[in-house]
Structure formats: structure tokens, C-alpha cells
Amino acid sequence: MATIKDVAALAGISYTTVSHVLNKSRPVSDAVRLKVEAAIAQLDYVPSGVARSLKARATATIGLVLPNNMNPYFAELARGIEDFCERNGYCVILCNSDDNPVKQRNYLRMLQEKRIDGLVLAAVDDASPSEGAWLSTPLVVVDREMPGVEADLVCIDHTEGAYLATRHLLELGHRRIACVNGPARASVARLRQAGFDRAMAEAGLSVPAHWRLGSDFSADGGYRAGAALFNDSRPTAVFAANDMLGMGVLRAAAERGLQVPGDLSVIGFDDIQMCRYVYPALTTVGQSIRELGELAADRLLQRVQGKATGAPRRQVISPRIVRRESTAPLPGGQAAREHSQEEVNR
């Protein structure tokens, strides 16, 4: 691999002069510049990014740590972050923590050693409360808060989104509504459960314990939950706390001969792109995931470039209902029976 000294020797000029041409640190004549450019082309010389970053004390590199990059939500989020950074002259190092606090800690230390200019972090839920507090680089936390760490936050309003999703089912006439959620240890799952509970409480409805199911945030988790729900006393609607859970519920319903939305309405959360292409297309609640990623990247680069100073800022995005094919009004006769039973229960 050619070095800057090789370029200087081939061009017949000093090492220092080649450095001035590469870094534009001092004016040189056109003749000298052309000699250097010709030597670089002939030797296929690539300047050392490490050397440049040590001199400039910046690497134009952003770290991104996600808990599960196989989840389409985080894949779309990463794309938004990467696209925004690329347009602004930064590259991104992507790390997948696998929801493992030890792996997350190791990646954070490695990224610090790489001298990244800033970091976007979707933290592992059961990480230590002080995890990340020692970071010396600008930090934006995305999707979920990180206790004990003072940093900018960009996330959707998880509780309000779950509330809107449940209200959507209630407004369609459903009263027998189940909740398929993620693991109880996950802060996002707890916030979305709170939104579901608030909507049901406002409607004066109780939810049987066996209609409150926790799993992991995956299609397989939704499928297993659906298999447990769809018996003789099944619900007429399901709030799935993310879209992958919702897709698993759709599969379980189809295998049992249930028509969606004729026999069962299902609503998800996040609005990943895949929702448009499952059958029936999944009604969901969310906001553009890529735009969420771009907001996080924008906030980080403002910190990195000194355009944003002061106390950490919380940016909580309002969710919206995305109506598709998997929810519909409860059929008239069934709705009347549900309301009648509701009066008896009161």
C-alpha cells in the first residue's frame, strides 16, 4: 500500500509539500499540485483517515447501537439515521447489542476507542442505571429513555399511541379486547400497556387476566399469544404492542379459520413497511420510522457541530392511527350482544 512518502518521491517534491496539497493547509503552485495529483493517481494512494482524524480531532464517524437489528423497526430507524448522516458527510458504525447489556457495554467502549464524533443509542432495557454515563461523546438516546444518563431523547409517545390504538377498537364497537404485549421488563412494553389500560378504564371495561399476554416483540411471540387467545371465549379484537406481534396474531387467526376483520380486528404499533404487504394489511399506530431516525441524527449532528448547546432536550413525537384492512366495526348483532353483556356485568 502506497504511503505519502511514496507520493512525495514519485512527484519529486518534499513530504511536507504533499501534506499541504492533501490538507489544503498552505497554497502551492498549480504545477506542484498537478504533480502530486498525478502521483496519487499512479500509486492509487489513499490518505490515512486515522492520521487526519488525530490532527483534526474529529473522525466524521457516528456510532449507532441498536438492541436488535433483525427487528424491521430498528432496521428502518437505522436507515433514517444513516441516510441523514451520509448526506451531511458522516459515516455510521452500526452495532447490534442483541438486547445484551454486556455486549452493549463492550460496543460502547469500542466506539469510544474508535474516536467517534457522536453516538445514537437505543439502549438495552435491563442495562445498569449508570450504563453510558461515562461516555465522553455527544449522545442521543432514541426510542426509549436511559435512566441515569443525561442525553437528548427522541422517541414516539408510546403511551399515547397505545391509547389511540385501543380507542380505535372501542370506537368500532369492540368491548372484548385483548392485549398482546412485549416482555414486562421492557420499558416500551410497560408504557404501551399503560395506554391500553387507560383507554379500557375510561370505557368502564375490565380485561380478563388471560387476555393480557406478554411475549417477546416478535412475530413468533404474537403467533404463540394468538394460539392461546383463540378458544371458545375469544376476544373480538386484539391490540398488539408492536407490528411483528400483530403479524403473528394474524397468522394464528388464519390457521384457526378466523376472518380478519370479519371475526377479529387486529391493530399493531410502529407502522413498519411490512404492514402494507401482509394480508390483510395491518392497521397500526405510529409515525414515519425513518423520519424518527433522521430527527435523532439531526439532533446529534447539531451537538457534534456545536450548533446545539445547553441542557438535554426531549423530543417526543405524536403518534397517529394508520387505517388499513385488519380492523372493522363489530357486526351489529354481535355489538348488541356485547353491550347487553356489558350492562349485566355492571
Residue type at 316 in one-letter notation? V
- Please compute the mean of the pLDDT values over residues 122-146 and round it to a whole number: 78
One domain, residues 305 and 165: no
One domain, residues 338 and 235: yes
With respect to residue 52, please indicate whether it lies within any of the assigned structural domains.
Answer: no
One domain, residues 249 and 281: yes
One domain, residues 244 and 230: yes
What are the residues whose beta carbons fall under 8 Å from the beta carbon of 46, sequence distance 6 or more? 1, 2
What are the residues whose beta carbons fall under 8 Å from the beta carbon of 148, sequence distance 6 or more? 128, 129, 130, 131, 132, 133
What are the residues whose beta carbons fall under 8 Å from the beta carbon of 277, sequence distance 6 or more? none
One domain, residues 200 and 339: yes
With respect to residue 271, please indicate whether it lies within any of the assigned structural domains.
Answer: yes
With respect to residue 32, please indicate whether it lies within any of the assigned structural domains.
Answer: yes
Q: What is the Cα–Cα distance from 289 to 275, expressed in whole angstroms?
A: 13
140-176 per-position pLDDT tens digit: 999 988 877 889 999 999 999 999 999 999 999 999 9
With respect to residue 54, please indicate whether it lies within any of the assigned structural domains.
Answer: no
pLDDT at position 49 is: 55
One domain, residues 149 and 260: no
Residue of 1 and 103 predicted with greater confidence: 103
Q: What is the Cα–Cα distance from 21 to 38, expressed in whole angstroms?
A: 12
Q: What is the Cα–Cα distance from 56 to 73, expressed in whole angstroms?
A: 35
One domain, residues 133 and 272: no
What are the residues whose beta carbons fall under 8 Å from the beta carbon of 171, sequence distance 6 or more? none
One domain, residues 283 and 253: yes
pLDDT at 345 exceeding the cut of 50: no
Q: How confident is the model at residue 344 (pLDDT cuts 50, 70, 90)?
A: very low
Most confident among 50-54, 232-236, 325-329, 339-343 (mean pLDDT): 325-329
Q: What is the Cα–Cα distance from 76 to 58, expressed in whole angstroms?
A: 27
pLDDT at position 126 is: 65
Q: How confident is the model at residue 129 (pLDDT cuts 50, 70, 90)?
A: low
One domain, residues 224 and 330: yes
With respect to residue 56, please indicate whether it lies within any of the assigned structural domains.
Answer: no
With respect to residue 309, please indicate whether it lies within any of the assigned structural domains.
Answer: yes
| Residues 11, 39 contacting (CB under 8 angstroms) | yes
What are the residues whose beta carbons fall under 8 Å from the beta carbon of 50, sequence distance 6 or more? none
One domain, residues 69 and 39: no
Alpha helix locations (H) across 88-186?
101-113, 158-171
Domain that holds residue 148: 61-156+289-318
Residue 198 belongs to domain with CATH number:
3.40.50.2300
CA angle 277, 327, 156 (to 5 degrees): 75
Strand partners, 118: 62
One domain, residues 143 and 181: no
With respect to residue 327, please indicate whether it lies within any of the assigned structural domains.
Answer: yes
One domain, residues 329 and 253: yes
Residue in the structure block whose three cell numbers are 413497511: 273
With respect to residue 55, please indicate whether it lies within any of the assigned structural domains.
Answer: no
- Please compute the mean of the pLDDT values over residues 208-220 and round it to a whole number: 94
Strand spans (E) along the chain: 61-66, 91-96, 118-121, 139-142, 152-156, 177-181, 212-214, 237-240, 265-267, 284-286, 314-317, 320-322
pLDDT at position 343 is: 42
Domain count, the chain: 3
| Residues 299, 271 contacting (CB under 8 angstroms) | no
Lowest mean pLDDT among 40-49, 59-68, 283-292: 40-49
231-259 per-position pLDDT tens digit: 778 999 999 999 999 999 999 999 999 99
